[in-house]
Amino acid sequence: MAGIGFEINRILSRQGYCSMLQAYGYAGLVGSGPWLVAVASLGMLGVLLRTLAGDQDVRVFFVAVSVIYGASLVLSAPLQLVLTRHVSDLEFLGKKRAVFPVYVASTAITALLFTLLGLIVFVGFVPGPFTFRVAAAALMCVVSCIWVANVFLSALKDYNSLLVGFALGFGLSLVLAWQGAKHWGISGAMTGFVAGQFGLLLVLCRAIFAELGSSDLADATSFLSGFRRYWDLALGGLFYNLGIWIDKFLYWWADPRGEQVAGILYASPTYDRVVYFSFLTIVPGMAVFLLKLETEFADANRKFYDMVLRKGTLAQIDEARDAMVRALAGGFSLLVKVQGLTTGVLVLLAGRSLPILGLGAVQTGVFQISLIASYLLVLLLSLLTILYYLDKRREALVCCILMTVISAATTWMTIPLGDRWFGVGFLAACAVMVVFATWRVNHHLDRLVYDTFASQPVYG
């Protein structure tokens, strides 16, 4: 996040309300821009495909894409977090030349594993045209490689070009899928979408090579040892993303009301659309998250440890610790207010706005539940980030495991109660874990000075 922090601080240095708004807008685009581009592109593609193909074919296409994005994100998460820590270690040790070979090796391994997974799932268990199934397997591979590329993008400084790259990549996916559907139906749509996503991956590869490219291949597979050293990070990434998706998986495959679309592809019509809409509402919270926690708190965190390493006095170290607490309290308070106001307004307006989108009264209630859950998820993400900054990896892992267990158990118990209870499991998990994570963060901040010195080896 260093490059983001530098750019935001440069904008804020001009002072004034316009600069502040520009900084928030920049943070929002960096944090959510690629995601918003993806959602908007898929929404437009859905409109276009419905004019060219039957409803069943369109449903198969979008359910396949949803499963691919969800499964690839969950299963690649352990690699993403281990790579994040490994690359940070390489840069800290001055081994920047070894970063790009790590990217190439990790991408190659990811492509192999997820291609095999995609072939097993779509060729083995999804009926339909063979070309469509192979293209879906290819999309599983490409999307997983894009998740890996995102790990290395924090080293880039030209975020405007990065956002343009995502816009061009998804724009290309939209056009090629649309044209493919015109000539070859659902198979052409999936093939065109894969081609556009592959174009996006090439854009990201080129940007990463321009910043990090080198020929130092000696440490290309060194990241594999990180799974042994940072196993708690790997599991934390797995359970965090599984905690977000587990209720969706249960509504697809464990709910008797789930609709079979094609083979093992299922959908939950009541839940799927509203939960995607609710996730779009966290953009203001993500902007505050980047602007306050990933810049101000990160800077205060760095100054604290600099003071420790430079043997500052106890008073200086305590003052640096207090600055961390003030930065966290200010940022978290603003996050609660901004995202809380956004969520509150949308909850109140849901009854009037959702019927315009063709959603009924039951889905309106589910949407309101999902809105509150998404709000709590942003708070939980912020708290987990603080735990990782404090190097409390196992505490963060416990939070992620509990989130998954609570969400799965509550969702399983409420499925028989009917559609009106959809989303309650995810809401309960986020609410409990926000309270738990807040308690653990406060505990560790109170003991920060003691833990920092007590955790160091004692030499005789």
**355-373 pLDDT, tens per residue?**
777 777 778 899 999 999 9
What mean pLDDT do residues 235-246 have? 96
Position 334 confidence tier, pLDDT thresholds 50, 70, 90: confident
Residue 142 sits at the vertex; the CA angle it makes with 138 and 147, to the nearest 5 degrees, is 145
Query: What pLDDT sits at residue 1?
Result: 44
Percent over 90 (pLDDT), the chain: 51
Position 214 confidence tier, pLDDT thresholds 50, 70, 90: low
Please choose, from the candidates 84, 64, 122, 70, the residue with its C-alpha nearest in 3D space to the C-alpha of residue 389. 84
Inter-CA distances, 452 with 93, 201, 300, 394, 447, Å: 21, 41, 15, 16, 8
Taking only the tens place, the pLDDT of each residue in 5-61 is 555 555 555 666 566 666 666 666 666 667 777 877 888 888 889 888 888 999 999
Query: What pLDDT sits at residue 155?
Result: 59
Please choose, from the candidates 273, 303, 345, the residue with its C-alpha nearest in 3D space to the C-alpha of residue 39. 273
Query: What pLDDT sits at residue 94?
Result: 80
CB-based contacts of 248: which residues, under 8 Å, 6+ apart?
Answer: 70, 268, 271, 272, 275
How many C-beta neighbours within 10 Å does residue 394 have?
14
Taking only the tens place, the pLDDT of each residue in 76-85 is 999 999 998 8
- Among the residue ranges 179-193, 261-275, 302-316, the one predicted with the least confidence is 302-316
| Residue extents of the structural domains in the chain | 1-229, 269-449
Position 460 confidence tier, pLDDT thresholds 50, 70, 90: very low
Average pLDDT, the chain: 86
Query: What pLDDT sits at residue 288?
Result: 80
Percent over 70 (pLDDT), the chain: 88
Position 302 confidence tier, pLDDT thresholds 50, 70, 90: confident
Position 99 confidence tier, pLDDT thresholds 50, 70, 90: confident
Highest mean pLDDT among 131-140, 313-322, 381-390: 131-140
What mean pLDDT do residues 214-232 have? 82
SS3 262: strand
Say if pTM beats, i.e. exceeds, 0.85: yes
